[in-house]
Chain A
Amino acid sequence: QKEVEQDPGPLSVPEGAIVSLNCTYSNSAFQYFMWYRQYSRKGPELLMYTYSSGNKEDGRFTAQVDKSSKYISLFIRDSQPSDSATYLCAMTRPAGYALNFGKGTSLLVTP
């Protein structure tokens, strides 16, 4: 079993919908959590970075971490066709440096 699990989708939603993307993990030492967005044939782009549990909001994006359940989420409000991409969760432990990635969820937002 991989340390980080992520449903690959694809997930298709209409423009304006609220999108929920999720990852689960098994290593309780993970404390730093990230979400990356990857457009087709491009490198991953850092979207959100959170430490430990709680919520973090940045514009239409909200990252949520529940360490007790080993579960992280990314919410996208008012989704746009430009949000169509693959979303990767990543996490690491203190002094771990190397990120542990989920396999990514493919999102399609239709006009």
Chain B
Amino acid sequence: DAGITQSPRYKITETGRQVTLMCHQTWSHSYMFWYRQDLGHGLRLIYYSAAADITDKGEVPDGYVVSRSKTENFPLTLESATRSQTSVYFCASSEEAGGPHLYEQYFGPGTRLTVT
């Protein structure tokens, strides 16, 4: 199906382990984003990418690493998971710069991550 998908949908891991969350979109959107959603904080941007091999930090990047070797994929890695990274993670995408819908972001279904 076309759209934006995330995997896994649920993940439980232990403190100190490395975890990678996957995001895949089929729209050929240039921009991709990773957010985390926590009670009391709402949605906060972790990292974003304007194109393949171009990434930049958002509001809460510490402890996370991203890469974007292909336009359609934008994995998020927690290098050494901590309990404070327990959250729901959403990937989003939007079309290329200059388009009329640039600022419309479309979200995936989310990954619910628990760090024990």
What residues of chain A have their CB less than 8 Å away from a CB belonging to chain B?
32, 34, 36, 41-46, 49, 88, 90, 92, 96-99, 101-104
Contact = CB atoms under 8 A, between A and B. Distances in A.
A98 B33 contact: yes
B42 interface: yes
Interface string B17-33: 00000000000000101
A102 B109 CA distance: 19
A103 B103 contact: no
Interface of B: 31, 33, 40-45, 48, 50, 58-59, 90, 94, 101-110, 112
A98 B42 contact: no
A43 B90 contact: yes
Nearest to B112: A41
B103 A42 contact: no
A77 B53 CA distance: 45
A97 B41 contact: no
B103 A49 contact: yes
A32 B58 CA distance: 19
A103 B110 CA distance: 17
Given A98-B33, A101-B43, A44 B58 contact: no
Looking at A43, A46, A92, A103, the one whose CB has the most chain B CB atoms below 10 A away is A43
B50 A104 contact: no
A72 to B, nearest CB: 14
Nearest to B101: A49
Contact of B43 (A88, A92, A96, A97): A88
A46 B105 contact: yes
A99 B44 CA distance: 9
B103 A102 contact: no
